[in-house]
Amino acid sequence: MSDDVVDLSATAPPAQLTTEYCIIGSGPAGATAARLLAERGRDVVLLEEGGDFTGRALTQRDGAMYDQLYMDRGGRTTEDMSIAVLQGRALGGGAVINASDVVPIPPAVLEHWSRRFGIPGLSEAELAPHARAALEDLRANPIREDQLNLANRLLREGAQKLGLRGEVMDHNRQGCIGLGTCLIGCPMNAKQSPRLVAIPAALAAGARVFVRARVERVTGAQREDKTVVCRALDAKGYHAGARFELRAKTVIVAASAVGSAHLLLQSGIGNPHVGRNLMLQPQLPITAIFEREVDAFRGIPQAYAVTEHETADAERGLWGFRIEAIMGTPGIVSTLLPWIGAEGKARMSRYRHIAASLLLVPDEPSGEIRRGPGGRPIVRYTQRDNHRARLREAIKVATRIYLAAGAREVVVPCHPPLLLRSEADLSSADALDFAPATVPLLSAHQQGTVRFSTSRSQGGADPDGQVWGTKRVYVFDSSGYPSSASSHTMAPIITTARALTARLS
Ligand SMILES: Cc1cc2nc3c(=O)[nH]c(=O)nc-3n(C[C@H](O)[C@H](O)[C@H](O)COP(=O)(O)OP(=O)(O)OC[C@H]3O[C@@H](n4cnc5c(N)ncnc54)[C@H](O)[C@@H]3O)c2cc1C
Ligand code: SF4
């Protein structure tokens, strides 16, 4: 599948590389921009530090796949190690390992962006054609009733018994056979990720795509010609090898809300807002234990969402919380259960009886990206009281739902573990303080860090994504989002990347 993709772990980097548009990062943002620009006849180079994985290369082996498909081999965390910061590192970015849920930006969020931040070009009406095109890119379609596994149906059953609103989400799978290993890549190539849609289209339109090409910095950001300083990586992406440079008139940084800000900081580009306003949207996984076998690991893991408590907030954008069924492979589930040794083994032997949910609680800007030693980012984040309060509330609601659906107990994976077996137990959630390293919070929807703004005193980039103080250095990913766009960021990022690319001359 990768005939036209140049793998720099196997091929020497070109001696002279020049282009009109250099795009850094090949996830939903970068791949979309590369495709649209190439289809406009522009000269495009796309640089990606991850490898190229499709079909059988996605082996379904936990260890190997987290190692190869995730940033920092799945080990990226906040500085205090309180939140796992999950991000893809592969051609196609996080869309190769995400849960395939397609959730557009809620209109109330766009209204908030317009009213509170006055950002032109991102209103519901202006984004509508790009949002439609994003859904087409993703081949978005509803998850069918026969594709709902028992774990998702139990969450729905419990919610319905309690009269709570919910929905089966849309997804970007075609030809899914329900193997359930989506979070370590789909060997069936069922996920219509940018790897299978935007990147082939970009290549067909003449874009040059390099993998195992890590950008270390960009120089000359205020000049006509920029220099992009890169290193080729080895086949597994562990070690940096040959250094090479690329000349470009326009640089589009699309390395994620962590990676883009970090690259700008490494390059000394931008104003003091770069790196600030980080939103991690920390999520809490909980498990429900049933007497019956649930086999949540079979079929589509994340299909049903309880949306009753998700709200639009005039001051903050997306607020409240959302509860979504989820399941992981044994390796990841064992790390998320709060037991080790004999108890951990006994609990894992009941793997077939587990249903799990993610409590998705949007946040306001609460952190920052800093330069760390060895060219690595430091992700600094302080959880706010309002986030803790909504997490506690979400735990109670999710527990009621699972108990209504017949669960024996709900496990909150904190230390010490919290076991909730009845309504009377719920008040014990009030004591949870989510102190660092006591509960496995996850982040999959990083946003902020190079905030779009109408004035350089308010953010890191202008409304077109051009980093303030530069000549044609842009950020096209969720770095620019002034508030949380959605519970899920893939469709939003493709939408805004399309809008920003359309405006780019
Ligand atoms: C486990 C998980 C599940 C998720 N589930 C969903 C879901 O179901 N639905 C949904 O909508 N969203 C989901 N998301 C979120 C979604 O996948 C991301 O928001 C999206 O992929 C971000 O797109 P992006 O283009 O901004 O960045 P990314 O997809 O992160 O792509 C950035 C790319 O840049 C590369 N890169 C970084 N730095 C450099 C550098 N210096 N040089 C070269 N390349 C570099 C990285 O290797 C990476 O491939 C999930 C995310 C995760 C991690
Ligand atoms: S559940 Fe479907 S999309 Fe996920 S890995 Fe299996 S076949 Fe692929």
Please report the pLDDT score of residue 329 as a whole number. 84
Q: How far apart are CA 248 and CA 21, in angstroms?
A: 6
| Pocket lining: 190 vs ligand 2, CB cutoff 6 Å | yes
| Pocket lining: 186 vs ligand 2, CB cutoff 6 Å | yes
* C-alpha triplet 276, 278, 283: angle, nearest 5°: 165
Last residue of one domain, picked from the residues 373, 405, 433: 433
Q: How many helices (H) and strands (E) does the chain have?
A: 11, 26
Distance from Cα 71 to the centre of ligand 1, integer Å: 9
Question: Which-ligand-closest: CA of 59?
Answer: 2
> Residue 166, SS3?
strand
Q: Does residue 196 sit in the same domain as residue 323?
A: no
| Pocket lining: 176 vs ligand 2, CB cutoff 6 Å | yes
Answer for the pair 70, 94: CB distance below 8 angstroms, yes or no: no
Q: What are phi and psi of 131, to 5 degrees?
A: -65, -40
Confidence check: pLDDT of 385 > 50: yes
Confidence check: pLDDT of 505 > 90: no
Q: Does residue 238 sit in the same domain as residue 344?
A: no
Strand-pairing partners, residue 171, are 101, 141
Q: How far apart are CA 113 and CA 463, in angstroms?
A: 11
On average, the pLDDT of the chain sits at 96
Q: Is 180 part of a structural domain of the chain?
A: no
Answer for the pair 151, 356: CB distance below 8 angstroms, yes or no: yes
User: How far is CA 327 from each of CA 174, 248, 250, 355, rounded to the nearest angstrom?
Assistant: 20, 43, 41, 7
Distance from Cα 75 to the centre of ligand 2, integer Å: 24
Q: Does residue 425 sit in the same domain as residue 451?
A: no
Q: Is 370 part of a structural domain of the chain?
A: no
Last residue of one domain, picked from the residues 406, 433, 460: 433
Q: Is 343 part of a structural domain of the chain?
A: yes
Q: Does residue 28 sit in the same domain as residue 12?
A: yes
Of the candidates 281, 309, 284, which has an alpha carbon nearest to the alpha carbon of residue 395?
284
Q: Does residue 115 sit in the same domain as residue 245?
A: yes
Q: Is 439 part of a structural domain of the chain?
A: no
Strand-pairing partners, residue 419, are 411
Q: Does residue 304 sit in the same domain as residue 403?
A: yes
Range 194-225 burial, b when 16+ CB lie within 10 A, else e: bbbbbbbbbbebebbbbbbbbbebbebbeeee
User: Which of 141, 173, 195 is the pocket-test mutation for ligand 2 (most atoms within 8 Å of CB)?
Assistant: 173
Distance from Cα 300 to the centre of ligand 2, integer Å: 7
Q: What are phi and psi of 479, to 5 degrees?
A: -55, -35
Q: Does residue 66 sit in the same domain as residue 207?
A: yes
Q: Does residue 257 sit in the same domain as residue 161?
A: no
CATH of the domain at 270: 3.50.50.60
Strand-pairing partners, residue 48, are 211
Question: Which-ligand-closest: CA of 149?
Answer: 2
Residue-wise pLDDT tens digits, 291-306: 999 999 999 999 999 9
Q: How far apart are the first and last CA of the chain?
A: 32
Q: Does residue 483 sit in the same domain as residue 337?
A: no
CA 255 to chain centre: 11
User: Which of 98, 171, 199, 253 is the pocket-test mutation for ligand 1 (most atoms within 8 Å of CB)?
Assistant: 98
Confidence check: pLDDT of 1 > 50: no
Distance from Cα 275 to the centre of ligand 2, integer Å: 35
Distance from Cα 287 to the centre of ligand 2, integer Å: 21
* C-alpha triplet 98, 318, 365: angle, nearest 5°: 85
Range 68-89 burial, b when 16+ CB lie within 10 A, else e: bbbbeebebbbbeebbbbbbbb
Of the candidates 227, 222, 265, 260, which has an alpha carbon nearest to the alpha carbon of residue 475?
260
Provide mean pLDDT across the span 350-370: 97
Residues having CB within 6 Å of any atom of ligand 1: 24-30, 47-50, 86-90, 93-95, 97-101, 103, 183, 214-215, 254-256, 259, 263, 302, 444-445, 477-478, 488-491, 493
Residue at token pair 């993998």: 211
Residue-wise pLDDT tens digits, 123-148: 999 999 999 999 999 999 999 999 99
Q: Is 62 part of a structural domain of the chain?
A: yes
Higher-pLDDT residue of 397, 486: 397
Please report the pLDDT score of residue 319 as a whole number. 96
Q: Is 271 part of a structural domain of the chain?
A: yes
| Pocket lining: 96 vs ligand 2, CB cutoff 6 Å | no
Answer for the pair 105, 492: CB distance below 8 angstroms, yes or no: yes
Provide mean pLDDT across the span 368-381: 96
Q: How far apart are CA 246 and CA 346, in angstroms?
A: 54
Q: Is 49 part of a structural domain of the chain?
A: yes
Element holding 457 (H helix, E strand) = none
Element holding 413 (H helix, E strand) = none
Residue-wise pLDDT tens digits, 177-223: 999 999 999 999 999 999 999 999 999 999 999 999 999 999 999 99
Q: How far apart are CA 290 and CA 287, in angstroms?
A: 10
In this prediction, residue 99 has a pLDDT band, given cuts at 50, 70 and 90, of very high
CATH of the domain at 414: 3.30.410
CA 438 to chain centre: 23
Nearest CA to ligand 2 atom 7: 176
Answer for the pair 158, 290: CB distance below 8 angstroms, yes or no: no
Domain residues for the domain of 354 are: 144-173+283-362+384-433
Q: Does residue 197 sit in the same domain as residue 315?
A: no
Number of domains present in the structure of the chain: 2
10 Å Cβ neighbour count for 159?
25
Residue-wise pLDDT tens digits, 58-78: 999 999 999 999 999 999 999
In this prediction, residue 328 has a pLDDT band, given cuts at 50, 70 and 90, of confident
Q: Does residue 245 sit in the same domain as residue 348?
A: no
> Residue 392, SS3?
helix
Please report the pLDDT score of residue 3 as a whole number. 61
Please report the pLDDT score of residue 331 as a whole number. 83
Answer for the pair 297, 351: CB distance below 8 angstroms, yes or no: yes
Strand-pairing partners, residue 69, are none
pTM of the model: 0.97
CA 43, 47, 51, 56 dihedral sign is negative
User: Which of 149, 176, 490 is the pocket-test mutation for ligand 2 (most atoms within 8 Å of CB)?
Assistant: 176
Q: Is 375 part of a structural domain of the chain?
A: no
Q: Does residue 160 sit in the same domain as residue 234?
A: no
| Pocket lining: 300 vs ligand 2, CB cutoff 6 Å | yes
Give the residue ranges of DSSP H helices in 5-142: 28-39, 62-69, 107-117, 124-137
